[in-house]
């Protein structure tokens, strides 16, 4: 794997970890007040993560030029960013 892809993979991994932690904190901080909404959101997040793993496996089998983990992390990053925006918008709308 070229060094550029390794650097990009590390950056996306760290960014993904940050958004996962932020999403977890946001969901846990509001879990008591809005339990059903956040439980459904968490279930959707788990389903999308499963879809992401299946996509990475399929990409790995077709052996494209781009590293499959890089594609999976990019997809997960956009999913997590969408969830963070959704939770923040929901919090500001209820405030």
Residue closest to 80 by CA, chosen among 30, 24, 7: 24
| Whole-prediction pTM | 0.49
Alpha helices in the chain (DSSP H): 3-29, 35-62, 68-94
Q: Provide the percentage of residues in the chain whose pLDDT is more than 90.
A: 0
In tens, the pLDDT along 52-65 reads 666 666 665 665 55
Residue closest to 70 by CA, chosen among 4, 2, 5: 5
Mean pLDDT of 63-68: 60
Distance CA 56, CA 75 (A): 10
Distance CA 50, CA 48 (A): 5
């Amino acid at each position: 794997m070229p060094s550029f892809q390794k650097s990009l993979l590390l950056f996306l991994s760290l960014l993904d970890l940050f958004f996962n932690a932020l999403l977890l904190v946001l969901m846990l901080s509001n879990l008591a007040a809005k339990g059903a909404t956040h439980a459904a959101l968490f279930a959707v997040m788990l389903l999308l993560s499963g879809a992401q793993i299946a996509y990475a496996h399929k990409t790995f089998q077709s052996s494209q030029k781009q590293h499959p983990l890089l594609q999976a992390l990019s997809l997960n990053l956009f999913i997590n960013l969408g969830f963070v925006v959704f939770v923040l918008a929901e919090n500001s709308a209820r405030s």
